[in-house]
Amino acid sequence: MLKIKFNYDIGMMGHSMYVYYENGKNKVFLVDGGSKERTVVYGEAVDSSEIMFGRIEDLSALALAIKEMNVQLPDESFTKGKLQATEKHLEDMRALVPKLRIKEQDND
């Protein structure tokens, strides 16, 4: 699973973006806008410029682009799935209640 981190760079007055995934005892960073990969062994010291995906001057533009791609966070997907299951259960219960009422009337 890809992970994304942002860092504010005071000297550059902007944000840096890091995109990586873990591969055993390594982290593999996508660099230069994703055109290259840089593998870093845990504990290895590297300069942040060597593992940076790119600079993000306007985070709101990035957020808007992600939203337009309909990317869902894991908890959003989970919550949506739970809501759909609850709705289905509610529909089942609505169908079942009238049948229960008929059985109650038959017993009287």
- 65, pLDDT greater than 70: no
Largest CA distance in the chain: 82
Q: Across all residues in the chain, what is the average pLDDT? A: 78
Q: How far apart are CA 21 and CA 5, in angstroms?
A: 11
Give backbone dihedrals phi and psi of 53, rounded to 5 degrees, phi first: -70, -45
- 108, pLDDT greater than 60: no
- Per-residue confidence (pLDDT) for residue 75, from 0 to 100: 66
Q: Residues 20, 23, 25, CA angle at the centre, nearest 5°?
A: 110
pTM: 0.52
Q: Which of the residue ranges 27-31, 47-51, 86-90, 102-106 would you say has the lowest mean pLDDT?
A: 102-106
- Per-residue confidence (pLDDT) for residue 29, from 0 to 100: 92
Q: How far apart are CA 5 and CA 53, in angstroms?
A: 10
Q: What is the DSSP string of 36-71?
A: EEEEEETT----HHHH--EEES-HHHHHHHHHHTT-
**For 80-100, what is the mean pLDDT?**
79
Give the amino acid at 15.
Answer: H
